[in-house]
Amino acid sequence: MPDLTFAVKAHSESPARTRVSVRNFTLVVDEPPELGGTDAGPNPVETVLAAFAGCLNVVAHLVAKEQGLTLRDLELEASGALNPDRLMNQPTSDRAGFKQIAVTLRFHTDASPEAVERWRREVEARCPVSDNLSHITPVKLIAEHKT
Amino acid sequence: MPDLTFAVKAHSESPARTRVSVRNFTLVVDEPPELGGTDAGPNPVETVLAAFAGCLNVVAHLVAKEQGLTLRDLELEASGALNPDRLMNQPTSDRAGFKQIAVTLRFHTDASPEAVERWRREVEARCPVSDNLSHITPVKLIAEHKT
């Protein structure tokens, strides 16, 4: 298939709060007060976890259907820990972002443990968000002056 | 500082639509009809771009303040392209996720091009979402049977 392009536009409403337009949708990303925001929405790293859970839902069902694996009542919990020191310009050897992201997928199935493990590995390999997090994704920031 | 832990819980409402709970917030992640969903919200990879824009807004202002760089009326555009073949189980040598992510940051400033470039590099290095995308982040998927 040809590549699909996805894009969002965003506007800084404050140094912590961002209004993001995605097609006909609007998301507000903010920080809680202790991180300098007004708590008008999930924060950026929580939004990454939400995206990851959403992507895994899609791929979990797609792969289950292909493999004939029953998958009912799927619930997901995603979490990660990060040290804010690099962000805050404090001395640290830790990275800026999540050190690891763990996602638990809980569901009803009558599949064998071996079939579930085969499904799990395939989901991880084919989920676009999993790929972008677990492998290097080139990122390009372009600064432009408004005129 | 001690590590901060972030977490979300999510429920599969359909094979394409996910309802995500983040503290007191709810996000709906879905796919448009052509990707098998009901278009009730941004899709997972659009949500990654939204998270990235939100994170860059925070770090852009934080670093500008540190460096004494004026930054007014910040707007961001984030985009990326991916080949859906791996997701869809079609033969391909392409990866599953975005091949690259580009973000344009547009703003008013009276800073010199050199000062802007110094700021841009620091923003990229300290943004947690930029770090998680542009470097390897270990991802752990745990499958659990409901009882």
Is residue A104 within 8 A of residue B144, CB to CB? The reply is yes
Partner residue opposite B73 with nearest CB, options A120, A129, A146:
A146
Q: Residues B28-73: pLDDT tens digits?
A: 999 999 888 999 999 999 999 999 999 999 999 999 999 999 999 9
Query: Tell me, what's the pLDDT at B35?
Result: 84
The partner residue sitting opposite B10, judged by closest CB among A36, A53, A108, is: A53
Q: Do A81 and B6 touch (CB under 8 A)?
A: yes
Burial of B32 (0-12, 13-18, 19+ CB in 10 A): middle
Q: Above 80 in pLDDT, residue B143?
A: yes
- Span A58-75, average pLDDT: 98
**Is the CB of B139 less than 8 angstroms away from the CB of A100?**
yes
Helix boundaries (H) for chain A: 44-67, 113-126, 128-134
Q: Does B147 have pLDDT greater than 90?
A: no
pLDDT for B1 beyond 90: no
Q: How many CB atoms are closer than 10 A to CB A90?
A: 11
Cα angle: A136, vertex A141, A145; to 5 degrees: 180
pLDDT tens profile B73-132? 999 999 999 999 999 999 999 999 999 999 999 999 999 999 999 999 999 999 999 999
Say what the pLDDT of residue B100 is.
98
Contact assignment for A98 to B132 by CB distance below 8 Å: yes
Whether residue A34 is predicted with pLDDT greater than 90 in this model: the reply is: no
Beta-strand relationship, B4-12 and A72-82: antiparallel
Taking the C-alpha atoms of residue B122 and residue B58, their distance in angstroms, rounded to an integer, is 13
Average confidence (pLDDT) over A38-63:
98
Nearest-neighbour CA in chain A from B113: distance (Å) = 10
Q: Which CATH class name applies to A43-134?
A: alpha beta
Domain boundaries, chain B: 1-41, 44-147
Q: Find chain B residues with C-beta within 8 A of A127's C-beta.
A: 87, 96-97
pLDDT, mean of residues A131-141? 98
Neighbours of B90 (CB within 10 A): 11
A108 Cα distance to chain centroid: 24
C-alpha angle A129-A134-A138 in degrees, rounded to nearest 5: 80
Q: Is B13 exposed, middle or buried (0-12, 13-18, 19+ CB in 10 A)?
A: middle
Q: Do B140 and A56 touch (CB under 8 A)?
A: no
Q: Which fold is adopted by the domain B44-147?
A: GMP Synthetase; Chain A, domain 3 (3.30.300)
b/e string for A72-86 if b means 16 or more Cβ within 10 A? eebbbbbbbebbbbb
The whole-model pTM stands at 0.98
